[in-house]
Structure 1
Amino acid sequence: MVVAARRMGKGRGDLMVPPSTPQAPADAAAAFAGKVAAATPLSGGPRGPKAPLPFSLFPCVRWLLTFLLLLAFTAPATASERARALDARVDLALAELRATVPGATDLLDRARGVLVMPRVLRGGFIVGATTGEGALRVDGRTVDFYTIAGASIGFQAGGEVSRHALLFMTDEALADFRAGAGSGWEVGASASVTMFTLGAEDRMRLGGPDPEIIGIVFGQRGLMGGVSLDGSRYTRVER
């Protein structure tokens, strides 16, 4: 009897539960998407209000736009102020050069152009680095701005601040410098520079030919001797 009842129950179950039909892949994907949509509340929909953000984006965007506008208006003024400040330092360096180095005024008056680096810093230990910035003057006015960089190897310590001037005595030397300084013009590789000394200045006054490029390194006490510019690299920059 029990066995028969179980068989009959199994039979009834088979009759009550219809056989499942396999779903097509597209139907299964649609059903899954419907479940996901039902579980995800839509903003402003009947399923509930939108969860508040931890902060509002509108004030942040407003402050960002304000900052960008201020930066756009103040950046050119800042660059212009830096250029004017550098020009003022060049004026002071030229006045100092004329006042402290005998014979410099005559050379400056005859030069076709002069590159003035009013503050050049050289320092390091074992490996020294040279950095600075200046301006090129042609006919008494600034035409371009330049940076100087260089390195030297040897026992050295501490730092040294000086001023540099390159005097271009011919139009050809000046043109070659301006053409090459866009990618970097190096003393010794791009052209040779004759360093100015008091003895050399005396010989020039006696009628000897001027070198194409004369280099002068000076400080607050006048001419600094025993200094070489070999390896110094000058590069034109925007100001």
Structure 2
Amino acid sequence: MALKGLAVIVLIQIVAGVPFGSAAFAQGPLRAPSSSEIDGRVTPALNELYSQNETAKALAAKAKAILVFPDIRKGAFIVGAQYGYGALRKGHYTVAYYRTSAASYGFQGGVKKFAYALFFMTDSAVDYLDKSGGWAIGTGPSVVVVDQGMARSLTTTSLRSDVYAFIFDQSGLMGGIGVEGSKITKIEPR
């Protein structure tokens, strides 16, 4: 288990561009960006999503809050990891900051960058995020990942789920991206 954990740390460092070696390990976990750095990435990411997806723009008007992770890095060679930082917005204001991470293993390989936004449609879903101390997607509020086909048929009057997820701004070479099993933890950025 310790070897698997070490492999994940090395993989996260490689994906994030952190130099590998004893100096990198001595620094401890990856440093969180500042709140202004996170906010500086969230706003353009949301604007890009809204320009590409009218359904996301319509959901934003009804959402109680939106959690945006604008820069997720995923890398894998047998063992995989993904990592990123984001902000929870209510209206146009950031109310909290979060980190997302996930690990996987199996037949996989490649590197990918992507973004995702979670649209919280109920107060109870926002409360769960706030009070859980760390949310693993797939537990707690129901999450529906909106693909292009669903986006065309979803209307704001047919909303039934607590949270809707949009994955966007994908680049790199790796099959399969998902948010299921991602651990979301509240942070206090520098």
Shorter-normalised TM-score: what interval? 0.7 to 0.9
Match of 1:92 in 2: 44
Query: 2:186 corresponds to which residue?
Result: 236
Whole-Å separation in 2 of the counterparts to 1:107 and 1:113: 10
Identity %: 35
After superposition, give the CA deviation of every residue in 1:155-201 in whole Å (9 maximum; x if it has no partner).
11121000011110111111111111x2x100112333100122222
Residue 220 of structure 1 deviates from its aligned partner by 5.8
Structure 2 counterpart of 1:211? 161
Amino acid at match of 2:53: V
Q: Does the 8 A contact of 1:196 with 1:214 survive in 2?
A: yes
Aligned-residue CA RMSD (Å): 2.2
Query: How does the TM-score come out when normalised to structure 1?
Result: 0.60
Gaps of 5+ in 1: 1-78
Paired residue for 2:56? 104
More helix by share: 1
Rg larger in 1 or in 2? 1
What are the ranges of 5 or more consecutive residues in structure 2 without an aligned counterpart? 1-30
Name the TM-score, length of structure 2 as normaliser.
0.75
Q: Give the whole-Å Cα distance in 1 for the aligned partners of 2:79 and 2:139.
A: 20
Structure 1 pair 235–159 and aligned structure 2 pair: CA distance change class (3 A): same
Distance across 2 between alignment mates of 1:209 and 1:108: 12
Aligned length: 155
Superposed, 1:115-154 pairs within 5 Å as 115-154=67-106
- Select the structure with the greater relative contact order (CA < 8 A; seq sep ≥ 6): 2
Structure-2 separation of matches of 1:236 and 1:138: 16
User: For 1:121-200, what aligned pairs fall within 5 Å after superposition?
Assistant: 121-180=73-132, 182=133, 184-200=134-150
Which structure is higher in strand share?
Answer: 2
